[in-house]
Amino acid sequence: MERCCAYPRKNKGQASGDAMDELIGPLLGGDRRALARAITLIESTRSDHRARASRLLTELPTRQALRIGLSGTPGVGKSSFIEAFGKLLTGQGLRVAVLAVDPSSARSGGSILGDKTRMETLARDPLAFIRPSPSRGELGGVARRSRETVQLCEAAGFDIILVETVGVGQSETLVAEMTDLFVLLLAPAGGDELQGVKRGIMEIADLVLVNKADGELRGPALRTVADYAGALRLLRHRPEDPEGYPQAMPVSALSGEGLDEVWAHLTHLARWRREQGHFAARRADQARRWFMAELRGGLLARLDRPVVKAQTVLLGDAVARGELTPEGAAERIMTLLDRGESS
Amino acid sequence: MERCCAYPRKNKGQASGDAMDELIGPLLGGDRRALARAITLIESTRSDHRARASRLLTELPTRQALRIGLSGTPGVGKSSFIEAFGKLLTGQGLRVAVLAVDPSSARSGGSILGDKTRMETLARDPLAFIRPSPSRGELGGVARRSRETVQLCEAAGFDIILVETVGVGQSETLVAEMTDLFVLLLAPAGGDELQGVKRGIMEIADLVLVNKADGELRGPALRTVADYAGALRLLRHRPEDPEGYPQAMPVSALSGEGLDEVWAHLTHLARWRREQGHFAARRADQARRWFMAELRGGLLARLDRPVVKAQTVLLGDAVARGELTPEGAAERIMTLLDRGESS
């Protein structure tokens, strides 16, 4: 697959003056253990780890992989699809990284992809790298670490980065904001279940795949495809799509049917968007959003400064006793931050 | 209903020195037009309106109503229940305010309760006041305005404040954080649909009501009650509950069956929690959360300062062009805020 470096996401001038991080060499060489260690730094809550991680991200040269978001509710056969599709890609000599963004992990600590046996064959493939979702911190934090992990995988020379998420609302949007293409995976269903898929998800999907189009489910699968094809036609055509997209099609992770077509559609879409400038425009827009997310996160992080935290506890008690309004107490903390005596 | 003023939520010392707001008199008199106007100030995005609103909230004396959260998905008969239950309360001479927190309104601008004809009789009742959900701003903003509206209704002397929300996840939590009691309204269903209700919602519910327990749905309703009663028994007993709570019971907004019992249970729960100190403790805890919400909101509001906004746009473009990392750009804005040259 063509690789395009026309889009440096960082300012080399920023690279720290220190000696190069010892992980950089192995990372550029595509060493998977080094990659795993670097990701662990990114996911760490220790500030020295975080600092080293962001130095790493700044020092690493930018490479550009094709980032594919994949969403599907439990039971649609997401793992089997990724396994089959991933093998198809590695079979073409492409290096594939599979990451997961799991909203539930932000709360319950539960994690999809937690257990690689879900994709045994792919996990053993030397051209593949599988990483579960970071399981600590709120969704915003998970998103930040995930997009940094995507950058790492690109720097490590992976060609395709599959970012998987469970179809439960906001997480799809998050994944769509860190990927170039978005694939929605569904199971055969009655037409009446069509409403089950939120309109918002339909609107970010580039391909809607109905899995399990084999055996006795083949008929229902084809009908479901027709239903979604109809629904997709109702959606306003997006400028970043060539004629006829977004598309719905049947696939079978089991028989492998449709997988080649899926890959053909994705490469066609990617090439078309690169030519039309939509590809770069989307990444630019994503970078802008990340900037705003960083800004909000960094601002809120000030509330964790020891002095501020201590005051917040005291004022919180006053508010709880009813001696201060929530608004009034908040104002006092603001003033404290303004006086700059908080750092 | 006993009214308890033992919990002043604000510091009178804070009251502004200006002449009393002309709305205060009518508000204390319980004038519904004045209340509606005051709420409009709270919901306004104009800073002078917001300023007057928060002055109002500080100047108004604190009264304490019983705040009841009510959640139910569309189709369970929420409006008819509120209408019937509200009439029962006003029939006892209690003044009832019905507010709505509609998460969808935060996005689509759509709003439950948008049209009072949903509760015609109650809307015409001089002892009742019905207000739709604020339909502008993100969910956090809707929550802030809603809880300020609750305070206004209390100051205006309402005895019961029903805060309605549609059962779609996060909104229940928001409503539970601004109410004293939480009621979950359900429709008769097969036991297999029991999983449909998220565990988190079951855990915040004080009463689970199965509506439509009349006619041929009476049987299914009773079975559904039994199912939920069983599910509730599985939940760990909460210290703030007397023995036997949370409870599931059948009601019929149509026939009125069960409504008296619902009211009896709610007053029993409220009295018990007041005696045990859980009532005040919960409000104190809520005030603490509001304080933190105010703090986060106020901090993020700094990004709207003209100088900061302008810089943010410029740096955002640089990030989009790939000349700066999102992290680096965010750092620069932080520095700008620290230098305090932003205000």
CATH number at residue B104: 3.40.50.300
Given an 8 Å threshold on Cβ–Cβ distance, is A328 in contact with B295?
no
Write the ipTM. Answer: 0.75
3-state secondary structure A107-152: HCCCCCCCCHHHHHHHHHCCCEEEECCCCCCCHHHHHHHHHHHHHH
More confident of the two residues A260 and B233: A260
User: Given this model, what pLDDT does residue A108 score?
Assistant: 41
Gap between the Cα atoms of B270 and B255, Å rounded: 26
Say whether B70 sits in a helix, a strand or coil. strand
User: Same structural domain for residues A151 and A85?
Assistant: yes
Q: Return the percent helix, strand and coil in chain A, to nearest 5.
A: 55, 10, 35
Of A288, A294, A312, the CB nearest to B327: A294
Least Cα distance to B24 among B7, B11, B41 occurs for B41
Residue A208 lies in a domain: yes
Sequence-ordered alpha helix ranges (H) in B237-305: 259-276, 278-301
CA atoms within 13 A on the CB side of A281: 9
User: Same structural domain for residues B198 and B311?
Assistant: no
pLDDT > 70? residue B104: no
User: Given this model, what pLDDT does residue A156 score?
Assistant: 92
| pLDDT per residue as tens digits for the range B181-196 | 999 999 897 655 555 6
DSSP state of B249: E
How far from chain centre, in Å, is Cα B82?
15
Report residue A10: phi and psi, to 5°.
-140, 165
User: Same structural domain for residues A211 and A318?
Assistant: no
Q: Is the sign of the CA dihedral A303, A305, A308, A309 positive or negative?
A: positive
pLDDT > 70? residue B222: yes
User: Given this model, what pLDDT does residue A140 score?
Assistant: 62
Of chain B residues 300-339, which have a CB less than 8 A from chain A? 300, 302-303, 312, 315-316, 319-331, 333-334, 337-338
Quote the minimal CA–CA distance from B258 to chain A in Å: 34
Which residues are paired to A183 by β-bridges? Answer: A70, A207
Of A8, A329, A334, the CB nearest to B322: A8
Given an 8 Å threshold on Cβ–Cβ distance, is B299 in contact with A294?
no
Q: Maximum CA pair distance of chain A? A: 70
User: Same structural domain for residues B223 and B131?
Assistant: yes
| pLDDT per residue as tens digits for the range A54-96 | 888 888 888 899 999 999 887 889 999 999 999 999 999 999 9
Report residue B61: phi and psi, to 5°.
-65, 155
| pLDDT per residue as tens digits for the range B263-318 | 999 999 999 999 999 999 999 999 999 999 889 988 998 898 899 999 999 999 99
User: Given this model, what pLDDT does residue B215 score?
Assistant: 92
| pLDDT per residue as tens digits for the range A120-148 | 889 899 999 998 876 655 566 777 888 88
Gap between the Cα atoms of B275 and B266, Å rounded: 14
Residue A160 lies in a domain: yes
User: Same structural domain for residues A234 and A159?
Assistant: yes
pLDDT > 60? residue A181: yes
Least Cα distance to A321 among B60, B10, B148 occurs for B10
Of B9, B285, B322, the CB nearest to A322: B9
Residue B313 lies in a domain: yes
Given an 8 Å threshold on Cβ–Cβ distance, is A321 in contact with B284?
yes
User: Given this model, what pLDDT does residue B122 score?
Assistant: 92
User: Same structural domain for residues A224 and A104?
Assistant: yes
User: Same structural domain for residues B92 and B180?
Assistant: yes
Of B285, B298, B324, the CB nearest to A334: B298
Residue A24 lies in a domain: no
User: Given this model, what pLDDT does residue B317 score?
Assistant: 96
Are A228 and A248 spatial neighbours (Cβ–Cβ below 8 Å)? yes
User: Same structural domain for residues B162 and B91?
Assistant: yes
| pLDDT per residue as tens digits for the range A274-332 | 999 999 999 999 999 999 988 998 899 889 889 999 999 999 999 999 888 888 899 89
A-interface mutation test, from B57, B171, B289, B295, most A Cβ less than 10 A away: B295
User: Given this model, what pLDDT does residue A62 score?
Assistant: 82
Please report residues of A whose CB lies closer than 8 A to that of B324. 10-11, 14
Q: Is the sign of the CA dihedral B187, B190, B196, B199 positive or negative?
A: positive
Q: What confidence category does residue A110 fall into, taking pLDDT thresholds of 50, 70 and 90?
A: very low
Given an 8 Å threshold on Cβ–Cβ distance, is A291 in contact with B326?
yes
Residue B147 lies in a domain: yes
User: Same structural domain for residues A85 and A234?
Assistant: yes
Please report residues of A whose CB lies closer than 8 A to that of B325. 9-11, 14, 57-58
Least Cα distance to B311 among B340, B338, B332 occurs for B332
What's the predicted TM-score (pTM) here?
A: 0.67
Say whether A231 sits in a helix, a strand or coil. helix
CB atoms within 10 A of CB B157: 16
Residues in contact with B171: Cβ distance below 8 Å, sequence separation at least 6, in sequence order: B71, B101, B102, B103, B139, B165
Residue B293 lies in a domain: no
**E-strand spans in chain B?**
66-72, 96-101, 128-131, 160-166, 181-186, 207-210, 247-250
User: Same structural domain for residues B103 and B218?
Assistant: yes
User: Given this model, what pLDDT does residue B117 score?
Assistant: 60
Written as one string, the DSSP assignment of B274-287 is HHHTHHHHHHHHHH
Quote the minimal CA–CA distance from A259 to chain B in Å: 34
DSSP state of B211: -
Gap between the Cα atoms of A254 and A77, Å rounded: 9
Are B85 and B262 spatial neighbours (Cβ–Cβ below 8 Å)? yes
Residue A283 lies in a domain: no
How far from chain centre, in Å, is Cα A64?
15
Which residues are paired to A48 by β-bridges? Answer: none
Of how many residues is chain B composed? 343
Count of domains for chain B: 2
User: Same structural domain for residues B167 and B75?
Assistant: yes
Q: What confidence category does residue B255 fall into, taking pLDDT thresholds of 50, 70 and 90?
A: very high
Residue A290 lies in a domain: no
Given an 8 Å threshold on Cβ–Cβ distance, is A330 in contact with B298?
yes
Residues in contact with A290: Cβ distance below 8 Å, sequence separation at least 6, in sequence order: A144, A147, A177, B319, B326
Gap between the Cα atoms of A127 and A129, Å rounded: 7
| pLDDT per residue as tens digits for the range A232-265 | 888 878 888 998 899 999 999 999 999 999 999 9
Q: Which domain holds residue B103?
A: 63-276
Gap between the Cα atoms of B67 and A241, Å rounded: 50
| pLDDT per residue as tens digits for the range A153-174 | 999 999 999 999 886 667 888 8
Distances (CA, A) of B107 to A195, A320, B6, B300: 19, 32, 38, 19
If you count DSSP H runs as helices and E runs as strands, how many of each does chain B have, helices first? 14, 7
User: Same structural domain for residues B222 and B314?
Assistant: no
Written as one string, the DSSP assignment of A30-95 is T-HHHHHHHHHHHH---HHHHHHHHHHHHHSPP--PEEEEEE--TTS-HHHHHHHHHHHHHHTT--
Gap between the Cα atoms of B267 and B270, Å rounded: 5
In single-letter form, the type of residue at position B75 comes to G
